[in-house]
Homo-oligomer: A and B are copies of this chain.
Amino acid sequence: MEVACLDLEGVLVPEIWIGVAEHTGIDALRATTRDVPDYDELMRQRLGLLEKHGLGMARIQQVIAGMAPLVGAEDFLDWLKARFQVIILSDTFYEFSHPLMRQLGFPALFCHRLEITEGRIIGYRLRQKDPKRQSVKALHSLNFRVIAAGDSYNDTTMLEEADAGILFRAPDTVAEAFPQYPSVHSYEELKQQFRLASERNLDE
């Protein structure tokens, strides 16, 4: 009995903060966990920039609502859901991801929440420490086998804890730092890696 755990940004949808940076012109918002591995440090930096530029929730949600899943992501997700139980493990926030999750048919998503007061993002609430690893552990406690795919540093504890880990469109630095995981770039290759990692024979 197998669960597929997928990272969200970079795997199914674009990097949300990069999209916000592009639409607002605030270049410093382009930083991701690829650049700043310490997530709390990264988030304090981001919220400081929003505050400094007077950007509230409404404007950011407007930007995100104009984004779309990556080309091919919906077909890939349909393929995956027909063969595995799929849970998305992400370090994004429900308030940000909602319009993109809607376009994906709302698969189960484990992520975090923002603290919002009168339209201003005043902080964030992480669900727990090392949430992706903890989620894989929880699935193991339910006797599931877990196959996980992600693209970035914050996915590597999930990949490590999983029974099989796959890098998808990871930057060279990540792929080189974690040579133990197959590193692929197309959804067809990703399907093939899920097939190889599964204990069952999966039909095309």
A residues apposed to B, CB below 8 Å: 1, 3, 78, 81-82, 85-87, 94, 102, 105-110, 112-113, 125, 127-128, 131, 134-135, 137-139, 141-144
Contacts and interface: CB of A to CB of B under 8 A. Distances in A.
Contacts of A138: 138-139, 141-142
Contacts of A139: 138
A82 to B, nearest CB: 6
A95 B14 CA distance: 34
B82 A113 contact: no
A108 B108 contact: yes
A142 B111 CA distance: 10
* Protomer copies: 2
A144 B134 CA distance: 12
B128 A106 contact: no
Given A127-B143, A142-B134, A87 B108 contact: yes
A106 B81 contact: yes
A82 B144 CA distance: 26
A9 B106 CA distance: 21
Nearest to A106: B81
29 contacts: A1-B94, A1-B112, A1-B113, A1-B125, A1-B127, A78-B106, A81-B105, A81-B106, A82-B102, A85-B108, A85-B110, A86-B108, A87-B108, A105-B105, A107-B107, A110-B142, A127-B142, A127-B143, A128-B142, A128-B143, A131-B142, A134-B141, A134-B142, A135-B142, A137-B141, A138-B139, A138-B141, A138-B142, A141-B141
A3 B128 CA distance: 15
A105 B112 CA distance: 24
Nearest to A113: B1
Contacts of A108: 3, 85-87, 107-108
Contacts of A81: 105-106
Nearest to A88: B85
